[in-house]
Structure formats: C-alpha cells, structure tokens
Amino acid sequence: MRRSCFILILASLFTANSVFAEDKLEEVVITATKTQQAIEESPATIDVVTSETIKKTDARFADETLRTVPGVFIERRDGVVGLSDSFAPIHLRGMPNASQTLVLMDGQRMNNYEGNIHWWSIPAESIDRIEVVRGPTSSLYGGGAMGGVVNIITKTEYSPLEVSVGRGSYKTETASLGHGWSFGDFTYNIAARSMKMEDPEQTSTTWRAGTNNVEVPTADGSTTFIRGATRQESSSNALSAGLTWDMSEDSYLNLKFTNANYKLDPQERETFDGDYLSSSYREHATNTYTLHYYNGAMENLEILFNAGLTDNYKDLFIWNNSSGDSVRPNSHYTLGLQANITVAKNILTIGTDWTLGRVTNEDEGNLYVANDSQTSKGSTRTLGFYLQDQFNITDMVTLYAGARYDSWKAFNAETNCASQGYPVYTPINKDSYVSPKISLVVRPDNLTTIRASAGDAFRGPTLWEAYKYSRGRRGTSLPNPELDPETVRSYELGVERAIIPEVKVGITCFSNHFKDMIYEVDTPDLDNDGNEDYLYRNVAKASSNGYEATLGLFPIEHVSLLCNFTKTFTKIRDVDDPTLAEQIEGKKFTRIPETTYNIGLAYDNGALFSNITFRHVGDRYAEDDNSDHFDEINGFDPYSVVDINLGYRTEKFELTGTLYNTFDATYWESYDECAGRTFMIKATVKL
C-alpha cells in the first residue's frame, strides 16, 4: 500500500548487522535524506535491520539488533543478563557519549536528559525496521546527530493475534502479544510485552578495609576491597496502541501511544560478615505520544507534519538504605513541518522543527548529606530550519547539498540547597549554529557505489550536563548552564562493490574533528562546603578517525557469510585546563574499543533457520589517563563471544532457541564480571 511506503518518510521527519541475514540491495530507505531512495543511492553509509532479522536473532531490545553493525558499539552486558541493564549507551564511529547519537522512534527523539536511551521502552516485537545512518546529520536533524541517527520504525499492521512466551537463564521470563485489524479506512493495533529476571550475583566493593573484606587489584593498578555480593530482580512492561486513518489515496493520519516501565529491585544483599548490605533501587516509567500526517495529493509535492512527546514521568533512584528518594522527571516535546518538492532533476527538501526539553532534579538527602534536600531544574529549546537539494547531475552522479540553522537556548535554570544558601537563578544562555553538509554519490555501474561527503554537526549540552546538582562522597556535582554546544567536522569516503553476485565488498574511511568538547572536570570548592566540586565544561579539541570494512559471501542457496571490521583511533588534544591537560591530553577516549569485528554465518530454507555469530570487542580504557591494566576489576577487558541461534517456523508457529556466549568466555566490564554462558527459548503462535 502507498501508506505503508510513506509511513517511512513520516517516521524520519523529527528533529531535527544483524544485517547479517539481509541483502542490502533493493532496500528503500528514508533516514539519510528524509526522502525515499534506494539504499545504494544514499549519500551516507546506512544499514537496515528488518523485523525478520530481529525474529531470527531473538533480540529482546532494539539495541541488541545493532551489535553487529559496523561502526556501532553498544554497552549492554552480554546474553540474557543484559536484559536488566536500564541504560546501554550507544556509540557511532568513536563518539564518546551516547548523547552524540540521535535515536528516534517513529520520528520522536528518545534520548533522555542524560542523552541515554530507555531501550526497554522500545520492545523488539513492535519494530518493523531500524535504519542506522553513520556520519554527521545535523544538516537535517539538528543537535545530537554528530555520530549519526538510529531511526526505529514501529509496526502499523499486525496479525489478528500473535502471542509469544520465552524462558531463559536466571529465571528470565518474557511474554508478548500483538493484535491488529482494519475496518474501512481505519487500521488499529495493540501490542504488549512483559519481562522479568533475576540478575546474577555481582560483587560489592568498598574503599575501606574490613575484617573479612578481600583486597583485590583494580584495572588502574590500585586496590579495592570486595565486601560481599548483591543480587537484584529486574522487570519491565510495555503497552502500545496505534490508529491509522487513510484519509484518501494520497493522504493519511497516524497516531500512536506507548507506555513502558522498568524496575530494578535488590533481592539478596549480604557482606562476608553476614551484615546487611545496602544497595540501590530504581524505577522508571515513560509515555511516548506521536502524531504523523502525510499528504501527497499534489503533483511533485509532499507535505509532512509531526508532533510528539516523550514524557519520562517517573525517574526514581534510591541509592542505599540511608538515602531518601532521588527523582528526575524529564520530558521532550517536538513539532515539525516538511515539504518535498520535485523540480526537473532536483528534489528539494524544506523543513522546520522545534524541540523543548525539561528536567527537575530532587534529592531528599543521602548517606553523605542526610536531611539536606537538594533541587535543581532547567530547560533547553531548539528551533531549526533546513534545506536540502538532491541534484541528479547525470544518471551516474548525484549531488546532495544542504544546511540547517539552529537557534539553541538554555533557560529557566534554578538550583536550590537550603544549607548552602541557595536558591541560585542562572541567566539565560543561548547560541546559534549553521550545520552544512555536501555529499557526492557516483554509480559507474549497477554493481558499484562510491560516496564522498563533508559536513558539520553540533550537540547542545544535555539537561544532565547543564543542570545536574548532586552531593555525595566524592564532592558536589554542580550545574553549568553556561556550557556551549560542542561541534564536529566530519569527512567520509567509501566504496561498495558487488564483484560477482556471490561476493560483495565495501570499505569506508571516516574522520571526525571535535571542538569545545564537553568534559567533566574537578574544580575548587566553589560552594564552600569543604569538599571538592566537579562540573561539565567545554575543555578540548579531539578526533576520532578510522575505517569500516565489510565482506559478504553468498556461496550456495539459503546460506550467507557476512563479516565486518571496524578500526577507530581516538585522541584528546588542546585541553585548555592545565591541570586536566596533564591527565587527558594526548589520551584516547574512555569506553571506546579500538577494534571490533563480527562474523556471521546464516542458513534459512524457509522453515529451518540458524545464525552463528562471532563478535570481538577490543581494548577499552576506563581511566581518563589510560592507565588501565586489563583483566582486573573496574576495567574493560577485550573479549570474544560466539552466539548460536536455531529456529523453526511454519505459517502459524515459530520456535527459536539462542545460546549466548557459547564457549563461556569470562571478562570484566567495570565492576561486573561476565555471567558466562546463558540461553533463551521463545515460542510464537499466530492466529
């Protein structure tokens, strides 16, 4: 249906590989240009993950499907235990912060006040496709799209009834239900998902020695003390409802609502001495509302309108049994209008959008500042206008040129801590940016695509960076609403070639150059409370350079072998804080692996299917000064894991089983030791 095609365009309006089993040719995408085009004609490197791939790999959350996409790194723990992670930062092409990658669901921004994403609020069962665009896209999407855009497009049509249940390691239980129906010009859908599990036992550490505490070395060469173990139970639920009205052959209106919640509840907490061990409790809940309108009734003209709200209305932390509640409700509003105009050999895209973010932070005291309530709040607003021209110079050469103007403002900022003489009101901070981009796509034949591009992108400070106020053992985290946005200038050159139908290769080189990089730094005792303070500042220039190589082999019917390799070189330079410069200048970004590679072997004969995936993540640094020693607690060990998935399907039934970390590899990720081999089994029935 025409509506099914154009819903993809609508889903990309705002703001601004597991592809192993998929053949990228003949895919139609929309995220790179906000217009429909064949994937091989896209001006940016782009990968697509379909709902069929998600089913085959038995992914539970959207980010799990992206782990094998080249140039993408996800910080989720491996296997079933990763289900309990409330956040799993995503990094594209060496971007050090999740807030530098824009994540959309049906066109609505999903990055929260920290820049992280509540992946549990996006059930994998509800996803129709995910488009991953790598490279700067602020020329269309505005702030936050420095590393690229992850565009999650949910289903608008379901079977009359589809039910799934799953069981796995650590008492993991999942269940989902989908229902859809069409009547006249209307189509509705309802989907629900529930999940719960018991987290594996994790060590609890302290900086103090104790009678039975065990002293162990850490990744930075110092020592810490293991004092006991904790175990937690996590659960999440999601419910969505959608309605589409086909107003005419060439226009429609789509409405969608999603409610999701997550809870992490301590279950077992005991020191080696048998004492009660305090542990944190957290609870989150999110409502997402989206509206899309499309009209293509006029010749050579398409009009699109979007509106949306991501309301993280519950964001509760209780750090330990001596703490009061810490709540940070936050929300993000968006409005957008776009027109696509076809004139001769040109497709002009003209648009505007408005975004508003708000956060309120209330801490009712903790172990270090008992009975001392602390509050802060703030807002950011961005208004953008963009223009892009897609000019088909010849049948083989297409030029893409565009730019976007953004007016950014931080306002309504207030910090209040009675014992420190607050409240303090912060003046308005505002700035404006122009983000240009130019790309050239050359297709000398039907088997070859050559891409070259250069562009600028920016990211305004997150609400967390600008307005965070918190007091703890380390000191006081102070707000800094005077932060300026950070910027990046990026270059890309790549080629893809189908040597023969059975062999496809590709390589892309990229180079990113940052200015005014936002970094958390220690400061003197600015609030005179006797403790060292810290806050975010614009302190440095930096770079991330590298390349992505891909190889696809399709030797016989039903079988595919796909491989990719990513190399990323990062460096911090020109730090303007002398004390901080001694620590980080010339060093690599923390948490970013220099090398990742994936190998996937897939078989699918229509009824029986299987995937064997090998993933390698290389060295990462946890310490700013890169002083880490691997294979120790508080560090990030390099690791290699093999996941095996096997399934069988009929028209009405599907059964899948997945073995994660098949060979039981062990490694440390900060204070968490890998849980080892885990499994998941899921059955699905369609009526």
Give the domain ranges of the chain. 2-192+202-213+220-303+317-439+451-686
**Non-local CB neighbours of 446 within 8 Å, separated by 6+ positions:** none
Over its C-alpha atoms, the chain yields an Rg (Å, rounded) of 25
Q: How many CB atoms lie within 10 A of CB 151?
A: 27
Cα 536 from Cα 278, distance rounded (Å) = 29
Look at strands 251-271 and 108-109 and give their pairing.
unpaired
Cα 57 from Cα 69, distance rounded (Å) = 14
Question: Contact, 612 vs 657, CB < 8 A?
Answer: no
Question: Contact, 155 vs 189, CB < 8 A?
Answer: yes
Confirm whether pTM is higher than 0.85.
yes
Greater model confidence, 233 or 222: 233
SS3 21: helix
Looking at 297-373, which runs of residues are DSSP E strands? Answer: 301-318, 326-327, 330-343, 346-363
* CA 632 to chain CA centroid, nearest Å: 27
Cα 108 from Cα 288, distance rounded (Å) = 8
Sole residue written with tokens 């009205």: 245
What average pLDDT does this structure show over 313-330?
A: 80
pLDDT in the model for residue 226: 75
Q: In 3D, which of 3, 623, 65, 591 has the Cα closest to residue 251?
A: 3
Provide the pLDDT confidence category of residue 208 given band limits of 50, 70 and 90: low
Cα 51 from Cα 602, distance rounded (Å) = 16
* CA 446 to chain CA centroid, nearest Å: 33
**How many C-alpha atoms does 59 have within 13 Å on its Cβ side?**
31
Residue 232: strand pairing partners:
266
CA-CA distances (angstroms) from residue 337 to 188, 406, 564? 25, 15, 38
Q: Is residue 2 over pLDDT 80?
A: no
Q: What type of residue is 581?
A: A
When mean pLDDT is compared across 433-442, 447-456, 658-667, the lowest value belongs to 658-667
Q: What type of residue is 209?
A: A
SS3 2: helix
Cα 505 from Cα 553, distance rounded (Å) = 9
Greater model confidence, 228 or 403: 403
Tokens of 537: 């500042």
Q: Look at the chain and count its residues.
A: 687
Sole residue written with tokens 């609030």: 527
Cα 434 from Cα 384, distance rounded (Å) = 10
Cα 638 from Cα 621, distance rounded (Å) = 10
Q: Is residue 327 over pLDDT 60?
A: yes
Residue 375: strand pairing partners:
362, 416
Question: Contact, 581 vs 575, CB < 8 A?
Answer: yes
Provide the pLDDT confidence category of residue 548 given band limits of 50, 70 and 90: very high
**Non-local CB neighbours of 123 within 8 Å, separated by 6+ positions:** 60, 61, 176, 191, 193, 238, 240, 260
Phi, psi of 64 (to 5 degrees): -60, -30
pLDDT in the model for residue 657: 96
Greater model confidence, 436 or 211: 436
Share of the chain above pLDDT 70, in %: 86
Architecture of domain 2-192+202-213+220-303+317-439+451-686: Beta Barrel (2.40)
Cα 443 from Cα 25, distance rounded (Å) = 14
Provide the pLDDT confidence category of residue 571 given band limits of 50, 70 and 90: very high
Sole residue written with tokens 């996409």: 69
Q: Is residue 25 over pLDDT 80?
A: no
* CA 355 to chain CA centroid, nearest Å: 19
